[in-house]
Amino acid sequence: MDPGAKYRWPLYLLLLLCFFTRLSFIRQIPAEDFFYPDGTDYSRVASAITQGEGFYPPEMKPVIAYRAPLYCFFLGGVYWLFGIENLTAVRLVHCFLAMLTGWIIYLISERIWGAAGGLLSLFIFSIHPFFVYHAATIAPEIVFTLFVVLTYYFLFRLFDEKTAFLAILAGIPLGLAALTKGTVLLLGPAAALTIFSFTKANWGRRLGLVFLLGSMSLLVISPLSYWIYKRWNQVSLMLDGSGMNFWIANSPHSAHIFKAKTASQFRSAQQHLWMEVLPAMSKRLEHLSPGDRDRIYYKMGWREFEKNPERSLWLMAERFRIFWRPWVHPLAYGPKEVFLSGIASLPLFFIGFLYLFSRFRAKTPEACFTVLSIILITLVVGMVNNTEIRFRVPLIDTLLIVYAGGLIGSVFPGSEPYPKRPA
């Protein structure tokens, strides 16, 4: 996929911009600062893996079981190469992975709109504050985003070309992304519905593509499922902590966080939940397997919903509002961060959705998939679970970047989309 001599140097320069914007940001972070609350958990598991103690050492606190394993193994690999808790090395690797992610975003956009649209999409990704911020966090977002956009790349090609090989290639990064964050599995139903409803092929071929996509994703996840079975003698696809999140989402502790009026009230409510309530619950349930714990959490969550449905519905509405707010929480971040996130995301939302819905009205498969994904992710992650804006960003904002780049890039002449194979 050679973008041609005309666009090669702008592509290289934008990839360097992608790298150095993140490098300049991480240089401001103290070398020993995890910069994210869950970073210490990921690091402890990664250190245990590096030292041969396994993914789930006995002395680890129970909530560690809900850390999806792939980022822990990635972190363990960096520690093995560069030294345990060498966070500078981790962040530098993050910068290179972000540059690779930007290149894939370019390829997606270039394939649909042409090189000019690809360059604009890459530029937006390179400077977008949310994605720059992720490079500094000791958290899965960088790795997760890479696998997500790789999934989009192969899916968008699959919708056009409808070949078995592309279904397999799309299933592999989808499974890897699920081993990093389980919420990405919602893309599977969206892809299946798109293949069935909006691709021109006979029923047998559509069923075959969906089967290959789903089975390959499950095959990638299967080592974790087998490990769960061997360790706890339970059949479970993966450890996702959805029951715990469902309970939190319907609990009065969550209501206290959302009703906070000041930054100190907000932090106090969060600390009470994460530093007191959850550790106490984990202590009570530590003798149970993660699957049994999750089932108990689900029952507790349903009891909270039945006892106070008005509170649960109000919390769903609040989560939806925050999930789709284009700026970070003003009680959790300062005015500068709120301003930067808003100034970056508001134009992205307006331009991205404008072009997305024009493509959706034309019933193009990639736009139909995007709309279905947004609906599923919003209903399940944005409203049902205890969540934050960071869950939306890798899954949805990357797609909005592609559409924003396409609309802006369409005003530049001389850029043709990548030629599609005949159906």
Per-residue pLDDT reduced to its tens digit, 80-130: 999 999 999 999 999 999 999 999 999 999 998 888 899 999 999 999 999
Judged against a pLDDT cut of 70, whether residue 414 lies above it is answered with no
Q: pLDDT category, 386, cuts 50, 70, 90?
A: low
The whole-number pLDDT of residue 244 equals 86
- Least-confidence region, from 44-58, 135-149, 293-307: 44-58
pLDDT over 90 for what percent of the chain? 56
The whole-number pLDDT of residue 62 equals 52
The whole-number pLDDT of residue 413 equals 60
pTM here? 0.92
The whole-number pLDDT of residue 6 equals 74
Please state, in angstroms and as integers, the Cα–Cα distance from residue 212 to each residue in 160, 188, 251, 341, following that order.
16, 11, 40, 39
Spatial neighbors of 285 by CB under 8 A, at least 6 apart, are 62, 292, 293, 296
Cβ atoms of 113 and 409 closer than 8 Å = yes
Judged against a pLDDT cut of 70, whether residue 3 lies above it is answered with no
- Least-confidence region, from 15-24, 194-203, 299-308, 364-373: 194-203
Judged against a pLDDT cut of 50, whether residue 280 lies above it is answered with yes
Mean pLDDT of 251-267: 92
The identity of residue 286, as a single letter, is E
